[in-house]
Structure 1
């Protein structure tokens, strides 16, 4: 049994279980996006600036990445608000999802 399902059984709320699972997915997606795409894109832009003094920045790529990060952060906050309203702390959620 997945840990969030266990938490939901204790609380007796399937919607709450879905929120915990969604939180875990959004959190992991955010971490993956930042570490695998956003940081390398920013480093690449900075490297171009430092190497030749020319500020080659793919603003479309950065705008897209920052938009994705913003969307994930917004979704994460919505989920956390829902969990807090059910008296579930962030620590409870992290413990439940293993992170």
Structure 2
């Protein structure tokens, strides 16, 4: 289980990255990208946080084989661009 203080940062980093690349990515590729940008995350953590974001309407997720594929929603884009804040997601842009 991801500590709550780490989860809020991972969630924001996922939304920021999806917004920056155009909206869709899988958990494996996102984990690699986030690690490369200094976020110490596992693939399981990324998949779990993508599901949390989907449960709260910030992204849609789909299981394709062994991959969790996520697409950012308009609500997720609003958070990524700073128009809206949401409890459980860092209000500060990630270091990407």
**By the TM > 0.5 criterion, same fold?**
no
- Which structure has greater strand proportion? 2
Pick the structure with greater CA Rg. 1
- Which structure has greater helix proportion? 1
TM-score norm. by structure 2 comes to: 0.31
TM-score norm. by structure 1 comes to: 0.30
